Structure 1
């Protein structure tokens, strides 16, 4: 019975996250497929909130793939994705990774997560600077999607699990207080930057 209730909670959390993305473009299909198993999906606490954001991001990525050319819908979805990813990363860094960095046992994967946030932000700026109607844009977008899905899979299955074991009750309280507040403020301030990423 408890396991069935847990599955229902997970399914509801995922459906709610997808519905938030779908509200941007209700006519588009959302094909996110299966998602990695995580102990946090459907959890009302902060790690569950982070995973709910990830599911929304998965839906936005899938919806962008359903669009054509430089359409108004593609532009609107991409702008929402940029604002969401930037706000989520900044709030996550302030709420979670700032605490995790203080612990020598978890510093390395906190640094890894933060460096991936920067990589993803650079990829978004590169995409924003390019012609959305070109086939090259879609190839670059596919690269962003692959990078982001890899990043959040690592967070959900490894980094959050390790962090939760090491965080104190005080740390968790800080996370609860900071994440939602910071995400809202960061999203309001987020800008779509346009900068071609030169190959290194």
Structure 2
């Protein structure tokens, strides 16, 4: 989804997400490859929008891995990734998972997703406190990347699918409005 809410193809959404990440450090490769297991994009008004954010996160994760030491590129990419992930998770929790919690059929998925957001926040906090130039930083970053990729794979292939089956059109419209508003506020506060 673009800001004007006009539908875009999956390839266009992925290309735009990578371009946003590349704008931070144009000389760093963004090798996210294909995500063949991620075939569900759901309703483009909310789930496609969430997956587009995930694509940007995938690109940022890959780009951070291409850096070394406490370099300006590593710092800029990591800081942008953290701000983006935090804003996305806060908006997703408020817009999607709070609505999904209402339905007993999807409560477990919502609780699981929110719990994983907290685990990811804890890993990010550890990285923020660590010395980026130390050899262990990239190893700790790899743990974050693995956890995050596991998390978004579950969301995209299981939790979003289950949630969409139980959401009304009014829910979808509400979700998009709340998501965009909350994400913008979170990024402004970052």
Return the TM-score normalized by structure 1.
0.88
* Alignment partners' CA distance in 1, 2:139 and 2:38: 28
Q: Which has the larger radius of gyration?
A: 1
- In structure 2, the partner of 1:123 is 123
- In structure 2, the partner of 1:102 is 102
Q: How does 1:20-39 map to 2 (within 5 A)?
A: 20-35=20-35, 36-39=37-40
- In structure 1, the partner of 2:77 is 77
What's the offset of the Cα at 1:50?
A: 0.2
1:65-90 residue CA offsets vs partner (Å, 9 max, x unmatched) = 11110001101111101100100000
Structure 1's unaligned 5+ residue stretches are 1-7, 191-200
Return the TM-score normalized by structure 2.
0.92
Report how many aligned residue pairs link the two structures: 182
CA root-mean-square deviation:
1.3
* Alignment partners' CA distance in 1, 2:38 and 2:91: 23
* Alignment partners' CA distance in 1, 2:32 and 2:155: 18
Structure 2's unaligned 5+ residue stretches are 1-7
Large movers: runs of 4+ above 2 Å: 36-39
State whether residues 57 and 84 of structure 2, in contact with CA within 8 Å, keep that contact through their aligned partners in structure 1: yes
* Alignment partners' CA distance in 2, 1:104 and 1:38: 26
* Alignment partners' CA distance in 2, 1:96 and 1:22: 28
State whether residues 45 and 172 of structure 2, in contact with CA within 8 Å, keep that contact through their aligned partners in structure 1: no
Q: How does 1:1-200 map to 2 (within 5 A)?
A: 9-35=9-35, 36-40=37-41, 44-190=44-190
